[in-house]
Structure 1
């Protein structure tokens, strides 16, 4: 069967053959050009796969892309040879959410294969003051690709388990995304978390989040029958404000599937070990997601001691004491988690007399 026949009869088979690099690229391009007017949205997918395949095969014929994309040989050569970054973003197609793909390549002029995206790409090019080309595998109906495109330009491929969506204005503020929760479903299907306007206000925040080695996060523990939800939320925000650069509660809870307010009734006899185990598990989950927990505890002091024994001196944590409507940092193990295990050097002796008994005691300070 000829390439043209395969393209007419089964476009999915044609695209799969491109992905598997089993098609001769020159003949494939000639078939696409001859059948271009009948391909509709599939044309973008085929253009994308031909570019990806040509780069994988180290194809050195710029005229191939010149014919396919209608561009000059210099730009074609740049698309084949310059460094590239692939990215993805969710779209709604026929009332269904799915993932779209793009590849961005720094070039001497700005170009895209999807005309409806050109105005957004031109504007972003002016904001970042550099030229680049973007080849999409599908048509684009809004500007929600701009945030993931900006991330790809600035720091490269996102290695973490996240997908981003959202338009950008000239100040890189993130715009609300239409049908965010519908798009989220496409990401969850492949085990990814969708992040955007609901978690970040500006694209620079996203870059800091993605390049940060660890996150400082407030973690409030409460064992009480008297504290309601409003009180706990207020207390949490008060604690979070004491932490420089603390990650937002909503963001961290989403990416880690943890609760940053651990609320339980007053501790009952016989549940001590069970609660220590549950809290240790929750704190360990926070740490395993690259965060340093800043912990404040409302409840029996004996339980706090038990949690400390369970945690040991392996991971950095910061502990706070609440007094007079204020949080005070009392132990900080971020630089050295074993500092509390070292004996404190004797500095002086103090003599204290208790007048009511007349007894003398010696204490260390």
Structure 2
């Protein structure tokens, strides 16, 4: 078997490539922040400097690892050291290496449904036996923390809060329940928390707040989302010192070292702090409300209000019927061809629910959201 067959086409890039054939589109597609990072973090770093153009250690600059440990330790009241941190080339490589270390042939891997497609693909690539941990639309896409899908001890459970594509945020009760379940059923948790600062009504709850989980969990974070540094490809992971030590040779073989320039930017970003981000969060919250209210007024669309991330995952069964589409993929193509609107088909994120859902990102300017909603409404009403 060709092992690359485990990796399916990413719907974001598939539809963006398709959209390149069309002019005048409104894209609710790619999951990329549209806000800019503070300009101050770029000052004083010259690409021509020797310390900028040199390799860094494979696990990242020691001062950045220490700074991340301090930053997260203060944020989540966690006892972290530099030895618990690895700096990676984006959060995706952190996820890939976590799976490499934890998943063997026939390891049970439980992934959220709906969920980010990469979880399934990477688990399958390493020979894992994938089981879906399903959420319920009628309960605002909440997951059952009892994890009844787990019928044997051991394995890996992937969690992602706030969730892509549903925007579901975790509660303290959810994390406490997961902590208890992990002790009872002895599974390892991989927690993708890249949207941790995009929580709108309450606050984010992290696995790092539960000391008993540190030996049996990997936390994954990123500078792409909060800091708007997606193109600088810098993520990080937190785990036991033993697991991080094992990661070093893997990182050397995979990419040598994370980009030094990006790490120096990250140091300046952490020193600058997150005081500026509250206004950004309010902007995303307003975008969320605008999109949810607009989608809810379109005939055949059922939208709920997500608690986090920057996605809405509405049910579009009746709209698909109205327009003659058999599933979300046909409807997504129809929206692009007939309205110039890009939304991603739900079947990429959920094999059980995805046929009648679309993912809309609200990470775009307000005027673009209004324009896209107007186009959708006209199409749905046959104007």
The answer to whether TM tops 0.5 is no
Return the structure number with greater helix share: 2
Highest RCO, 1 vs 2 (Cα 8 Å, sep ≥ 6): 2
> TM-score, with normalisation over the residues of structure 2?
0.22
Greater percentage in strand: 1
TM-score by length of 1: 0.23
